[in-house]
Amino acid sequence: MKKQYFGTDGIRGRVGSGIINPEFILKLGWAVGRVFSRLATNNEVVPRVIIGKDTRISGYMFESALEAGLVAAGVNVSLIGPMPTPAIAYLTRTFHCTAGIVISASHNPYYDNGIKFFSAEGKKLPDDIELAIEQELLLPMQTVDSANLGKVSRIEDAAGRYIEYCKSTVPSEFQLQGKKIVVDCAHGATYYVAPMVLRELGAQVIEMGAKPDGLNINQGVGSTEPEALAKAVLEYQADMGVAFDGDGDRLLFIDGDGKAIDGDALLYIIAMDQLRTKGECSGVAGTLMTNLGLELAFKKHHIPFARAKVGDRYVSELMHQHGWSLGGESSGHIICSDVASTGDGLVAALKVLFAIIGSGQSLQALLSDLTMCPQLMINVRCDKAVDLDRDPAIVAAVADIEQQLGDNGRVLLRASGTEPLIRIMVEGQDEQLVGQLTQQLADQVQAIVS
C-alpha cells in the first residue's frame, strides 16, 4: 500500500493547512497510541511514549494535541520540552519507552511543523508501522475507559542526561582546551545543550542562534544558511565554527578561513580518523547526492562505499545491510551507529573534533588530499504531482544534459520528501559547464511543471 501522510521523515507541512492542524494531530496521537499498544512487549505494562520538540511556536499546540490523543488511547506520556531530535531517540532507548515522538520541521521555517517517530530502539519507524498508523487514522476515534486512560509526566533532567551521553561518545581524556569555537544553534533545539557540551569539554564557546523566540528558528542562521557563521568565525578569529539545523540532527563546520565543510567532507574526516585510530574503516554509506570526489577518495584508501536513496533512514538501512558503522548525507546528516541509533549533529561534531585534536591537524589539513568534483543543486518549486522518471519532456531534458556531460559527470533529479520541490543536481569536472547545465535544466524543468 502507498502511504498517504508519511514522507521520508515523518509528517510535515505548513501549520494550519492540510493535515498540520490540531484536529488531525490529536487523532494521529490516538492512532499512534493504538498501534504501539499492540506492539508493547508486555501486555500488562502500559505503553509509554516520550514527546520532545524544537523551538517553533506551534510546538506547544501540537504537543498538547498529541498528548491528548495518546492518553485517550490509554498510553502514558513523558514530556521533555525543547530537545534535539537525536536526544529523543536516545531517551526513548534509555527510558525503555515504547516509542518516541518529535514535533519538528527540522530546517524549515517557523510556519512549518511536523511529527517524527522513533521506535523503542531509537530508530526511524519501518514502513509497515507507518502504514498501520495510517490504517488507524481511517477509523472513528474512541476513548478508552476512564480507568485505563494514560497518565502524563515530565522528565526534568532530560537535558543533563543527553549532555552526559554526548560526552560519553568520545574518550574521557578528550579535551578542547585552547580551542575557540563559534556554535550556531539556528535558534533551535540545540540552543542549550550544544554550547554546554563544548564548554564542559573545555572549549571557549561563542554562541550564535541561541536565543529562540518561537519565530526565529532557522532564520538567517543554522546549517542551511552558514554565511553568518563564516563571518563570525573570521570576526572572532576562531579556530572553527559548527552549525546545527533547527532540530539538531544535521550539521556543518566552518574552518578557520571561513570555508564551509559539508557532510561529505565530514564523513571523510571521520572515516580517515577511524583508519588512523583503528587501522581500518569497515565502509561508508552515502546517498545518490554524495559527491563523486568522496567516492574516489575512499576508493584510493580501500574503504568500501555504497549509495542509498536520499534520506537518513535509507542510509541507516544500507549501513545495517553491510554491517558498517558510518554513513551520512551531503546535507550534514551523519550517522555514527557505533554510538548512536540515528543521525546526531552534536555527536558527529564531537567525532570531527576528536579527529582534529587526535591528529594535531587543522580542518584544512585533514581535507588537503580530498578533491571534490564541482556539483550544483537548484531547487525548483512544483505544486503538482510529476513522475520524474516517466514524464517525456523531463526525460528528454535530462538526456540532453547527460549527453553534454558525457562520461565526465552525472545528473540527478528527485522530489523532496518534505517540501514541494524538485531537487536538480548536476556534477562534473568543469565547474563552469556544471553551473551552465544546472541552470539550463532547472529552467527547462520549471517550464514543464509550471
The catalytic site residues sit at 106
CB 354 within 8 A of CB 374: no
User: Which candidate, 107, 117, 28, places its Cα nearest to that of 65?
Assistant: 28
CB crowding 235-253: b at 16 or more within 10 Å, else e: eeebbbbbbbbbbbbbbbb
User: Which candidate, 239, 181, 175, 174, places its Cα nearest to that of 208?
Assistant: 181
CB 225 within 8 A of CB 218: yes
Instruction: Outline where 329-430 has alpha helix (H).
Output: 345-359, 363-366, 392-405
Tell me the backbone φ, ψ of residue 78, rounded to 5 degrees: -120, 125
DSSP string of 188-227, one letter each residue: TTTTTHHHHHHHHTT-EEEEES----SS-TTSS-STT-TH
DSSP run (H or E) holding 38: helix 22-39
DSSP string of 133-187, one letter each residue: HHHHHTSPP-PPPGGG---EEE-TTHHHHHHHHHHHTS-TT---TT-EEEEE-TT
d(CA 59, CA 246): 13
Long-range contacts of 411-414 (CB under 8 A, 24+ apart): 411/441, 412/288, 412/289, 413/388, 413/445, 414/288, 414/310, 414/388
Partners of residue 176 on adjacent β-strands: none
User: Which candidate, 309, 245, 295, places its Cα nearest to that of 267?
Assistant: 295
Partners of residue 11 on adjacent β-strands: 115
Report the relative pairing of strands 334-336 and 375-381 from DSSP bridges: unpaired
Cell of 219: 532564520
d(CA 27, CA 151): 17
